[in-house]
Amino acid sequence: MGICDGRTVIITGAARGLGRAYALAFAAEGANVVANDIGTSLGGEGRDTSAADQVVAEIKAAGGTAIANYEDITDWDAAKRIVDATVAAFGGLDVVVNNAGIVRDRMFVSATPEEWDATMHVHLRGHFCLSRHAVDHWRARQKAGDAVDARIINTTSGAGLQGSIAQAAYSTAKGGIAALTLVQAAELGRYGITANALAPSARTRMTEQAFAEKMATEGQTFDTMDPANIAPTVVWLGSAQSAHVTGCVFELEGGRIMLEDGWREGPVVDAGKRWAPADVGAAVDGLLAERIAPRKVWGTA
């Protein structure tokens, strides 16, 4: 008996890296896994349905239960077909793990509209379409009198939480996902749905290129960048045990679980009247002197 025994989970981008680690871990804890992946390149080009087939075969070989799915999460109708196929195969749906994403690294001064739109499309629209159809399914179940204990697990990033040089589009999309998570948590609790987000740090196709030195394993007794290190927290968030946790963003790396503190009100000064423009500078300087120093944007000195 695992902590997700009998629960059904859709994982997007499930064929490689973090998604594959999540799929294997959920299956090992008794979940029915729908491994969704269209098998694109890191930049989002091309298709390869065998990628999803491989992780499903691996789950089944280990005694788990899984099906592959090759639908495009950014397509509204296709996203509904993912939910419908899941319900048809397993009789229901309990967890959506929005993991799929692409990256188009580019300094802002060189960014193109096409790269910007592609990044927003996969990350933001992809998170929206599948989750929206899943929520329709869960609301219908609740209206029918079923007890709903559902989970949305989104994927943000350190880049989205603090910014990253040469990743304006990616950082913007991931920051938007963090904000989306807060809204989902606030709105969907009444239906028995929680929403949380992850900012995982692990070895993937994306990070191996951007952070090759950090991803290296030479001389390590514990491989902190193994994607499998992230999976236990994701599986727990998908379990019935996490019903009391919603609206949180967790930064995960190796054996570390860090709860993000988020934007909150900082130092304040109130003149009690309209400011004169010439006086604003001194007031802002005073606020800057009082604030807690923010984390630096990735890639800055």
Positions marked active-site: 157, 170, 174
What does the DSSP assignment read for 3-70?
A: TTTT-EEEEETTTSHHHHHHHHHHHHTT-EEEEE-----TTS----THHHHHHHHHHHHTT-EEEEE-
What residue ranges in the chain does DSSP mark as E strands?
A: 8-12, 32-36, 65-69, 95-97, 150-155, 193-201, 249-253, 256-259
**Helix and strand totals (H; E) in the chain:** 11, 8
Residue 240, amino acid = A
Apex 291 CA angle, 288 and 293, nearest 5: 95
Beta strand 249-253 with 256-259 is antiparallel
> How many C-beta neighbours within 10 Å does residue 114 have?
9
